[in-house]
Amino acid sequence: MGRIAAAYNWFDERTAIRSLIRKGLYEAVPVRGAWFYTLGSATLVLILLQLITGIFLTLLYVPSVTEAWASLHYLTQHDAFGAIVRGIHLWSAYILLFVIGLHMVRTFFSGSYKRPRELNWVTGVGLFVLVLAMAITGAFLPWDQAAYWTAVVVTNIAVYTPFIGSFLRALWRGADTVGPTTLSRTFGIHVWLIPAILFPLIGAHLALLRKHGEFGSYVNYRGAYRSREGVDVPPAPKQRPIEPPYPAVPTDELWAAPLETEDFYPHQTFKDGVVSAGLVILVFILAVAIGAPLEAVADPATTSYTPVPEWFFLPLDELLLLVPQQLIPLVLVLPTGGVLLLLALPFIDRDPERNPFERPAVMVPGAFAVLFVVILTLLGSGRLFNL
Amino acid sequence: MTTLIALIGPALHMLAAELPSQAPQGNNRLAAQAVIGSLFSVHILIAGLVSGAGEIGPAIEFLGFVRQRRRYDRLAHGLGRFMTLYFSFSSAIAILLITVLLVGYWGHFWTTMVTIGWWPLFIEAWTFVLQVSLAYIWYYAWEPLRAFKGVHMAIGGLLAIASFLQVYMIDIIASYMLTPTNPQNPLRLALNPTSYPLTVHRTVGNLAYIGFAFGAFCAIRFLRARNREDKAFYDWAGSFGVLWGVAMTLLQPIVGYSYAKEIQLHSYGSWYKMMFGTLSPVFLWQITLLGIMFITATLYFGRRLRTDGARGAGLLRAMSVGLVLTTLLAAMPYHLGFTYADVAAAGLNRPFWEGGLINPLGSMIPWKVLALMFYTLIAIAAVVWYLRGLPGVIWGSARRGEQRILMLMAFLTMLMIITMGFIRENSRGPFLISGEMTIQGQQNTQAPQPTPAP
């Protein structure tokens, strides 16, 4: 026995690492739809990339209105790799928002939020909101023109909250106008408050995922092969014996265990690795080729600057442009109502059917919601070019 | 490419010098406008169908593949056949319009547009070639590629992209005429303020239109069908068409509103003409027509479910009543005179209960905006309820009444397209290129903007 093996055995005897790795790597996952699951692991990889680059950025960034811009300017212009690290932080945030959105859409369309995975969905919605909050608060921090005017607009949105709007705005700003307290409070929220909730929630999300197992594509369950008129029934695939974590719900026979499963390692880990590596490479290329812009230092007195919203604000920005002044509070209720509706979704849609074509009551409004967001983004995208 | 432009540029200038410097005047101008307007309407009615079929056809084929249902394949194949039959008809009208009428009557304008929009028109021409090639390959390779469905669907995907690109390129030109920007900057030309909204509006509109159109076609075929299998197919396809058409039309209130907002921000004169000026009665008719379309579709949904005793028919009837009330709200005029300016000039711009000619319930904000929201929400609910009831429907058992509604839907959609085209093209008047070139004199000019209404 080599020394390394002996050391591994010593460590295993004290920590049970061998069984932990075996449990982690050799669990059964459904075969069908496996490329779509990679969105979850890609989300995790991008969040970790945010964490690592964020730690590096805090080594130099100074959260004060007089130093914030200068510290980032120094980081970008004079620090070795500073511009690339900042670029990776920005582009991984952008791509993270896109990937986590796709992950939610996939979960919604495949009906993966249904019993017994309701809490996976709830924690996932929580993670989506927190990632969005990270992006919004992060946009304040460079304290350039774009950051300052984003801070003015975003903190002003709080005022439309019924009854406590003015209090919320004052709480965030720390004064009547955006200033030093706003920046230090937002920095605190960005690096301490949100991560303190985000990372435990990620742990809970992953624990629940391992407890119930992945829900694959609906075509991989007996529910899909019920005979219907005009349907070409495919031959039943060779079935692997049901094994943990399946059946997820012993009572719900049709959707309890997938017909085809494979080991998480190496099948799923290979796919996860390909997609995550591809995204990391894309982030790196964008960080080097485009980088993270830093406009002129914030000037509250300017009259010539035209603020351009971040791309993830475009749907809301377009909606605010479209609706009349009197209906703006109603529009701001939409995102809040939307999040509440998303949280309640698994408890409203309790029908066990997973086939998207067989659950129009949820799919049609959901598809329209997605389409509206896409169309509003498209309509507002002209403003990104400041035309 | 630079060499090509260098060669073509002088040729265009020479051609422009040969063309009449004056546009048609007086009655001749009205006649020329009427001919071009009518032919453009026919062109758009056919071209919209061809573009829509190029986008929806591959989507239906893919849906059939995913759901393993043969009838989707049959429907997609039928759309392919339609494209191969009508592509040349639509193209012939476009060529006639450009080579004879536009060059002959408004030659200076056309050469100006070609010079400004050289790149979009160049790309449009090649996407046209790509679209026609792919359409024929997609249709004629159906059987030979049956064993290679993935390859066939990939060709369909390319066809959909080519169809979209062609619409986008020509929309750059159409939108530039309404909201011109710096023509020297290709990015600004391509992303002029109304190019995105117009492209989204037209793409979604074409997709809705083809749904209603094949719904009507299937209704006719259903009435003529002799065997049970055909009856079942045309009944299903008609229902699928109207469902698809309504689903796409649902998006139009917000897209159309966004388009109007951009016109307000960047071409105030045109917007004023639509909302308060000579086009305001036509605009009112358009928003009313939208309501009539939703009511008609909901009536179809309700009737189709009731025929087979499927669940949800009663609720759909209640929804159509809701849509009637919403349409009545949307149809209310704001000023009870031809234009707001007429009412103001007569000193009657005060509420009707004070002896004036203003009806506050007819204002865009908030009443018409609320009506548009209700249209969308009620119609989404109608689509959901119809889909929920569909498992109880036996295809092939539809009655004549439902088929008549399907034909009416297609007619209403065509009316809507002509109305919208009329509004858009006339809102620029007296300009061909907004604020830069007039219809009569074809000269660059600056027009004063109207005073904003209160």
- Nearest partner of A279 among A139, A96, A101, A25, judged by Cα: A96
| 3-state class (DSSP) for residue A297 | strand
C-alpha distances in Å from residue B86, one per residue of B51, B53, B134:
11, 11, 15
Side chain identity, residue A289: A
For chain A, count helices (H), then strands (E): 14, 2
- Chain B residue with minimum CA distance to A374: B200
Partner B contacted by A327 (CB < 8 A): yes
User: Are B275 and B354 members of one domain?
Assistant: yes
Give the pLDDT band of residue B182 (cuts 50, 70, 90): confident
| Res B286: pLDDT | 95
The minimum CA-CA distance between A230 and chain B, rounded to whole Å, is 6
The answer to whether the CB atoms of B68 and A323 lie below 8 A apart is no
Burial B34-45 (b: 16+ CB within 10 A, else e): eebeebbbebbb
Task: Give domain status of residue B10, yes or no.
Answer: no
Side-chain-facing half-sphere of B131: CA atoms under 13 Å:
25
Which residue intervals of B146-227 are DSSP H helices? 149-178, 186-190, 195-224
Report the residue from B67, B187, B366 with minimal CB separation from A324: B366
- Nearest partner of B212 among B440, B24, B443, B48, judged by Cα: B48
Partner B contacted by A26 (CB < 8 A): no
Per-domain residue ranges for chain A?
Answer: 29-215+258-309
The minimum CA-CA distance between A129 and chain B, rounded to whole Å, is 26
The answer to whether the CB atoms of A326 and B365 lie below 8 A apart is yes
Q: Which residues of B touch A375 (CB under 8 A)?
A: 200, 204, 251, 254-255
Task: Give domain status of residue B83, yes or no.
Answer: yes
Q: Which residues of B touch A387 (CB under 8 A)?
A: 181, 188, 191-193
| Spatial CB neighbours of B158, under 8 Å, sequence gap ≥ 6 | B130, B134
Task: Give domain status of residue B21, yes or no.
Answer: no
Using CA atoms, how far apart are residues B223 and B238, in angstroms rounded to an integer? 11
State pTM to two decimals. 0.81
Burial A307-336 (b: 16+ CB within 10 A, else e): ebbbbbbbbbbbbbebbeeebeeeebeeee
User: Are B157 and B217 members of one domain?
Assistant: no
Report the residue from A326, A365, A375 with minimal CB separation from B384: A365
Contact A116, A249 (CB under 8 A): yes
Using CA atoms, how far apart are residues A9 and B51, in angstroms rounded to an integer? 68
- Nearest partner of B420 among B285, B262, B251, judged by Cα: B285
| Spatial CB neighbours of A272, under 8 Å, sequence gap ≥ 6 | A37, A38, A41, A42
Prediction ipTM score: 0.71
Partner B contacted by A375 (CB < 8 A): yes
Using CA atoms, how far apart are residues B295 and B331, in angstroms rounded to an integer? 14
Angle formed at CA A213 by CA A209 and CA A219, multiple of 5 degrees: 125
User: Are B173 and B118 members of one domain?
Assistant: yes
Task: Give domain status of residue B410, yes or no.
Answer: yes
User: Are B178 and B243 members of one domain?
Assistant: no
User: Are B216 and B325 members of one domain?
Assistant: yes
Could you read off the pLDDT of B293-306 as tens digits, one per residue? 999 999 999 999 99
User: Are B330 and B183 members of one domain?
Assistant: no
Backbone angles phi, psi at A230, to 5 degrees: 80, 5
Range of the domain at B128: 32-192
Side chain identity, residue B20: P
Task: Give domain status of residue B7, yes or no.
Answer: no
The answer to whether the CB atoms of A318 and B258 lie below 8 A apart is yes
The answer to whether the CB atoms of B251 and A323 lie below 8 A apart is no
Query: Can you identify the CATH homologous superfamily of domain A29-215+258-309?
Result: Cytochrome Bc1 Complex; Chain C (1.20.810.10)
Q: What is the DSSP letter of A255?
A: G
Side chain identity, residue A293: P
Axis crossing angle, helix B195-224 with helix B228-249, rounded to the nearest 10:
160
The total of structural domains in chain B comes to 2
Partner B contacted by A235 (CB < 8 A): no
The minimum CA-CA distance between A336 and chain B, rounded to whole Å, is 18
Could you read off the pLDDT of B58-80 as tens digits, one per residue? 999 999 988 888 899 999 999 99
Mutate to test the interface with A, among B175, B195, B196 (most CBs of A within 10 A): B196
User: Are B120 and B185 members of one domain?
Assistant: yes
The minimum CA-CA distance between A382 and chain B, rounded to whole Å, is 7
Q: What is the mean pLDDT of residues B146-162?
A: 95
Using CA atoms, how far apart are residues B130 and B136, in angstroms rounded to an integer? 10
The answer to whether the CB atoms of A230 and B71 lie below 8 A apart is yes
Using CA atoms, how far apart are residues B435 and B259, in angstroms rounded to an integer? 19
Backbone angles phi, psi at B352, to 5 degrees: -65, -25
Report the residue from B68, B254, B365 with minimal CB separation from A232: B68
Task: Give domain status of residue B204, yes or no.
Answer: no
Count the neighbouring beta carbons within 10 Å of the beta carbon of residue A84. Answer: 17
Task: Give domain status of residue B426, yes or no.
Answer: yes
Q: Which residues of A touch B62 (CB under 8 A)?
A: none
- Concatenate the DSSP letters of all residues of A19-33 into one string: HHHHHHHS-EEESTT
Tokens at residue A340, please? 């509440």
Q: Which residues of A touch B387 (CB under 8 A)?
A: 360-361, 364
Q: Which residues of B touch A323 (CB under 8 A)?
A: 369
Per-residue pLDDT of chain A (387 residues; tens, 9 = 90+): 689 999 999 999 999 999 888 888 888 888 877 888 899 999 999 999 999 999 999 999 999 999 999 999 999 999 889 999 999 999 999 999 999 999 999 999 999 999 889 999 999 999 999 999 999 999 999 999 999 999 998 998 888 888 888 999 999 999 999 999 999 999 999 999 999 999 999 999 999 998 888 887 787 777 655 544 555 555 665 666 777 777 777 667 778 888 888 888 888 999 999 999 999 999 999 999 999 999 999 999 988 888 888 888 888 888 888 777 777 777 778 888 889 999 999 999 988 888 888 888 899 889 888 888 888 888 787 766 655
The answer to whether the CB atoms of B196 and A381 lie below 8 A apart is yes
The answer to whether the CB atoms of B258 and A387 lie below 8 A apart is no
Higher pLDDT, B84 or A331: B84
- Chain B residue with minimum CA distance to A367: B247
Instruction: Reply yes or no: is the peptide bond before residue A356 cis, omega within 30 of 0.
Output: no
User: Are B235 and B153 members of one domain?
Assistant: no
Contact B340, B277 (CB under 8 A): yes
User: Are B301 and B184 members of one domain?
Assistant: no
User: Are B277 and B422 members of one domain?
Assistant: yes
Side chain identity, residue B342: D
C-alpha distances in Å from residue B198, one per residue of A122, A177, A311, B259:
38, 39, 21, 7
- Nearest partner of B452 among B279, B178, B265, judged by Cα: B265
User: Are B159 and B227 members of one domain?
Assistant: no
- Nearest partner of A231 among A337, A358, A352, judged by Cα: A358
Task: Give domain status of residue B438, yes or no.
Answer: no
